[in-house]
C-alpha cells in the first residue's frame, strides 16, 4: 500500500469541504486533529470558549469518521501529547510515515508562520492551501485596497453585494439603498418579547470535554456552566433556523439596543459557529435574503444582517492580512494605562460596565454595541494600553480569533491603528449609553451629571479624551461639531471636567477599580 497523505485540520476549520480535505481519499489518507495546550493558553481563553472548540472538534471528528475518513484525533489529556501543532505534526509523521502533508492556511499570522516552515522542518512535501471559506480572497481584498486613499467598509461592502448578488436588483441595490443603518438604531424597551436563545444540552462527548476543561483550565476566566452552545453541524443548523424565524425580523430595529438582564436581544449568536466553520457565511446570507423575499423579515433587518457578514466580517479580515503581524502592536494614540482589574472581576459601580462584563463572564458573549460602546469606549476614553485590551477581547469571547478580533479592537474600537479601519474613533459620553439602554436607570452614577460627586465617569472622560487628542482630531470633519461644542462650554465647566477625569483616572490607577474608596 502506498504511503498516505496526512491532512491536518485546525480547530477553526471544521468544514467538510475545507481545502485540506478536498480531493482527498477518505480510505487511504489520514486526517489529523489535535487538542493542544499551546492553542488553549497563548491567551487565557474563557473556559466556555475552550470547551466549545474542543467539543466542536470532537463532533467534527465523529462527522468525518461517519463519512468514511480515517481520523487520527489527539486529545489534550493524551499522555504523549506534546502540546503544540508542530509537536503533534511531528508525532503524526512518525506514526504514519506519510507521503505528504496537506493543510489549509491558518487564519492568523502566528500559526501560518508555523505552517510555512514545515516543509523544511519535516523534509516532506507540504501544501498549505488557501482558506476559500471566505467570500473575498485575500488577494482580491489587496487589489481592491491598492491605491485607495482610505479604506471604508461601505465601499467594500457594495463590491461584495455585487459579487454575491445578495439583495441586488440587476446592478441596483434592493430597495434603492445600499444601507438601512439609519433605521437600525431603536432603543429597546423591557416589555418587548425577546426570543431566548436555543439552548442545547451537552451530550456525553461534550460532558467529557467539560470535565477536562474544569480540570485543566480551572484558573481561566469565565463560567464553564451552564454550557448550552451548539457543537455539532446538526445543532448549528437548528440554531440558524431558529434565528431566522425568531430573531431576524427584529434584528435591524434593535441592533444597537442594550437592556439590563437581556444578554442577547435579537442577535444571532452565530459568530462562534461561523468562525469555526460549522456555518457557511454565504449560505447563511442567502437564507436571510430568502426570509426577506418570502415577506417574513423586513429589508432593514436582512440588509443589516447581511452587511455584518459580507461587509464587516470580510473587511476586517482583509485589513488583518494587509496590515501584517505588527498590527497587534499599534498604539497611535499612545495609550499606556494598565487594564483595570474590573475587566476580569466585573466589579464596578458603573452599571453598563458591570452588565457587559458580567454577561461576558457568564456566557463568553456580549453583543457588538456592548463590546464597542461600553467596554471598548471606556478603554478608549481611559487610554488603556491597546495590546492589553486586545488580549482581553481575544481571551473572553467564544467567537474570538485574532483575524477578526484585532481589527475590531485595535482599529474600530481603540483607533490604535490611526484610522485605517475607521475614519473616527467611536468615543461617546454617557448620553449615548443612556439613549440606547436602560443601564443608567439605577446606576450608582448620574448620567446627566458631569462634574459632581456622582457624575457618570463617561462624561468627563469623553471631553477629556477629545481635548487630549485635539491636535489629531480637530481637523476631522466628522468631529468638528464636538470641538465646537467643547469650545462653547463655560471655562470653569471645562476645568471641572478635566479635573474630574484626572481624579477618576488617578483613582482607577491607584485602586484598579472604581469601587473602592
User: Given the rule CB under 6 A, which residues bind ligand FAD?
Assistant: 267-271, 274-275, 305, 308-309, 312-313, 316, 367-368, 371-372, 376, 393, 397, 399-400, 404-405, 408-409, 412-413
101 binds ligand DLZ (CB under 6 A): no
d(CA 107, CA 99): 25
d(CA 13, CA 9): 6
CB within 8 A of 378, min separation 6: which ones? 350, 353, 384, 458, 461
Beta strands at 172-173 and 168-169: parallel, antiparallel or unpaired:
antiparallel
Binding partner of residue 433 among ligand FAD, ligand DLZ, ligand SF4, none, CB cut-off 5 to 8 Å per kind: ligand SF4
Total residues contacting ligand SF4 (rule CB under 6 A)?
Answer: 14
323 binds ligand DLZ (CB under 6 A): no
> CB under 6 A: which stretch of 30-38, 187-195, 331-339, 457-465 binds ligand DLZ?
30-38
Q: Identify whether the C-beta of residue 101 lies closer than 8 Å to the C-beta of residue 125.
A: yes
Binding partner of residue 103 among ligand SF4, ligand DLZ, ligand FAD, none, CB cut-off 5 to 8 Å per kind: none
Question: For the chain, how big is the Rg over CA atoms in Å?
Answer: 24
What's the closest the beta carbon of residue 505 comes to ligand DLZ, in angstroms? 34
Q: Which of 107, 231, 335, 351 binds ligand DLZ (CB under 6 A)?
A: 107
343 binds ligand SF4 (CB under 6 A): no
State the number of CA atoms in the 13 A half-sphere of 82 facing the CB.
9
d(CA 5, CA 360): 41
In the complex with ligand DLZ, the residue whose CB is nearer, 75 or 468, is: 75
Q: Which of 106, 273, 332, 421 binds ligand DLZ (CB under 6 A)?
A: 106
258 binds ligand SF4 (CB under 6 A): no
Q: Which of 433, 460, 479, 501 binds ligand SF4 (CB under 6 A)?
A: 433
Beta strands at 168-169 and 5-8: parallel, antiparallel or unpaired:
unpaired
Total residues contacting ligand DLZ (rule CB under 6 A)?
Answer: 16
227 binds ligand SF4 (CB under 6 A): no
d(CA 241, CA 300): 19
74 binds ligand DLZ (CB under 6 A): no
Q: What are phi and psi of 243, to 5 degrees?
A: -60, -45
274 binds ligand DLZ (CB under 6 A): no
d(CA 132, CA 137): 7
In the complex with ligand FAD, the residue whose CB is nearer, 5 or 372, is: 372
Q: What share of the chain is helix, strand, coil (3-state, %, to 5)?
A: 50, 5, 40
> CB under 6 A: which stretch of 7-15, 224-232, 303-311, 420-428 binds ligand DLZ?
7-15
C-alpha cell read off for 4 = 498516505
Q: Which of 101, 160, 278, 350 binds ligand SF4 (CB under 6 A)?
A: 350
d(CA 174, CA 190): 33
108 binds ligand DLZ (CB under 6 A): yes
Residue among 86, 40, 88, 32 at smallest CA distance from 60: 32
CB within 8 A of 243, min separation 6: which ones? 268, 269, 270
Binding partner of residue 443 among ligand DLZ, ligand SF4, ligand FAD, none, CB cut-off 5 to 8 Å per kind: ligand SF4
Q: Which of 6, 443, 466, 482 binds ligand SF4 (CB under 6 A)?
A: 443
What's the closest the beta carbon of residue 354 comes to ligand SF4, in angstroms? 8
In the complex with ligand DLZ, the residue whose CB is nearer, 111 or 328, is: 111
Which SS3 state, helix, strand or coil, does residue 312 take?
Answer: helix
C-alpha cell read off for 334 = 499612545
What's the closest the beta carbon of residue 375 comes to ligand FAD, in angstroms? 7
Q: Identify whether the C-beta of residue 257 lies closer than 8 Å to the C-beta of residue 437.
A: yes
In the complex with ligand DLZ, the residue whose CB is nearer, 45 or 263, is: 45
What's the closest the beta carbon of residue 367 comes to ligand FAD, in angstroms? 5
In the complex with ligand SF4, the residue whose CB is nearer, 113 or 444, is: 444
Query: Which residues, numbered 303-342, are part of the site for ligand SF4 (CB under 6 A)?
Result: none
40 binds ligand DLZ (CB under 6 A): yes
In the complex with ligand SF4, the residue whose CB is nearer, 289 or 370, is: 370
C-alpha cell read off for 142 = 489587496
Side by side, which strands form the sheet with 100-104? 70-74, 30-34, 5-8, 100-104, 126-129
Residue among 480, 473, 433 at smallest CA distance from 457: 433
What's the closest the beta carbon of residue 114 comes to ligand DLZ, in angstroms? 9
29 binds ligand DLZ (CB under 6 A): no
C-alpha cell read off for 373 = 460602546
d(CA 330, CA 423): 16
Element (H, E) at 104: strand 100-104
Residues at the interface with ligand SF4 (CB under 6 A)? 350-352, 430, 433-434, 439-440, 443, 445, 447, 456-458
Residues at the interface with ligand DLZ (CB under 6 A)? 10-12, 34-36, 39-40, 45, 50, 53, 106-108, 111, 401
Amino acid at each position: 500500500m502506498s504511503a498516505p497523505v496526512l491532512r491536518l485540520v485546525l480547530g477553526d476549520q471544521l468544514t467538510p469541504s475545507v481545502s485540506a480535505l478536498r480531493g482527498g481519499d477518505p480510505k487511504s489518507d489520514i486526517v489529523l486533529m489535535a487538542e493542544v495546550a499551546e492553542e488553549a493558553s497563548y491567551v487565557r481563553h474563557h473556559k466556555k470558549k475552550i470547551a466549545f472548540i474542543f467539543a466542536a472538534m470532537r463532533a467534527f471528528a465523529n462527522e468525518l469518521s461517519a463519512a468514511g475518513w480515517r481520523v487520527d484525533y489527539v486529545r489534550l489529556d493524551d499522555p504523549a501529547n506534546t502540546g503544540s501543532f508542530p509537536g503533534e505534526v511531528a508525532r503524526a509523521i512518525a506514526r504514519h510515515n506519510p507521503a505528504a502533508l496537506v493543510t489549509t492556511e491558518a487564519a492568523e499570522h502566528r500559526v501560518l508562520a508555523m505552517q510555512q516552515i514545515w516543509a523544511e522542518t519535516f523534509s516532506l512535501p507540504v501544501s498549505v492551501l488557501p482558506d476559500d471559506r471566505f467570500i473575498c480572497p485575500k488577494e482580491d481584498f489587496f487589489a481592491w485596497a491598492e491605491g485607495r486613499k482610505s479604506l471604508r467598509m461601505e465601499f467594500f461592502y457594495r463590491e461584495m453585494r455585487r459579487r454575491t448578488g445578495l439583495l441586488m436588483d440587476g446592478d441596483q441595490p434592493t430597495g434603492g439603498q445600499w444601507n438601512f443603518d439609519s433605521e437600525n438604531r431603536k432603543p429597546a424597551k423591557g416589555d418587548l418579547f425577546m426570543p431566548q436563545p436555543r439552548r442545547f444540552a451537552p451530550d456525553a462527548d461534550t460532558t467529557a470535554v467539560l470535565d477536562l476543561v474544569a480540570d485543566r483550565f480551572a484558573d481561566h476566566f469565565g463560567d464553564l456552566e451552564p454550557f448550552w452552545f451548539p457543537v455539532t453541524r446538526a445543532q448549528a443548523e437548528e440554531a440558524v433556523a431558529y434565528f431566522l424565524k425568531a430573531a431576524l425580523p427584529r434584528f435591524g430595529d434593535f441592533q444597537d439596543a442594550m437592556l439590563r438582564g437581556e444578554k442577547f436581544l435579537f442577535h444571532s449568536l452565530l459568530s462562534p459557529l461561523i468562525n469555526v466553520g460549522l456555518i457557511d457565511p454565504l449560505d447563511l446570507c442567502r437564507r436571510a435574503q430568502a426570509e426577506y423575499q418570502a415577506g417574513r423579515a423586513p429589508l432593514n433587518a436582512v440588509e443589516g444582517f447581511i452587511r455584518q457578514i459580507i461587509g464587516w466580517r470580510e473587511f476586517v479580515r482583509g485589513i488583518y492580512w494587509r496590515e501584517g503581524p505588527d498590527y497587534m502592536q499599534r498604539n497611535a494614540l499612545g495609550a499606556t494605562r494598565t487594564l483595570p482589574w474590573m475587566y476580569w472581576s466585573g466589579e464596578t459601580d458603573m452599571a453598563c460596565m458591570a452588565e457587559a462584563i458580567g454577561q461576558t463572564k457568564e456566557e463568553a458573549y456580549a453583543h457588538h454595541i456592548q463590546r464597542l460602546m461600553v467596554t471598548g469606549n471606556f478603554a478608549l476614553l481611559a487610554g488603556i494600553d491597546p495590546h492589553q485590551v486586545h488580549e482581553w477581547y481575544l481571551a473572553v469571547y467564544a467567537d474570538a480569533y485574532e483575524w477578526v478580533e484585532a481589527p475590531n479592537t485595535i482599529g474600530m474600537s481603540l483607533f490604535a491603528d490611526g484610522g485605517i479601519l475607521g475614519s473616527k474613533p467611536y468615543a461617546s459620553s454617557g448620553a449615548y449609553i443612556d439613549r440606547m439602554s436602560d443601564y443608567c436607570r439605577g446606576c450608582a452614577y448620574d448620567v446627566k451629571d458631569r462634574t459632581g460627586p456622582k457624575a457618570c465617569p463617561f462624561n468627563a472622560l469623553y471631553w477629556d479624551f477629545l481635548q487630549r487628542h485635539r491636535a489629531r482630531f480637530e481637523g476631522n470633519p466628522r468631529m468638528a461639531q464636538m470641538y465646537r461644542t467643547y469650545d462653547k462650554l463655560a471655562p470653569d465647566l471645562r476645568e471641572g471636567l478635566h479635573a474630574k477625569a484626572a481624579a477618576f483616572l488617578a483613582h482607577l490607577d491607584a485602586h484598579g477599580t472604581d469601587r473602592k474608596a
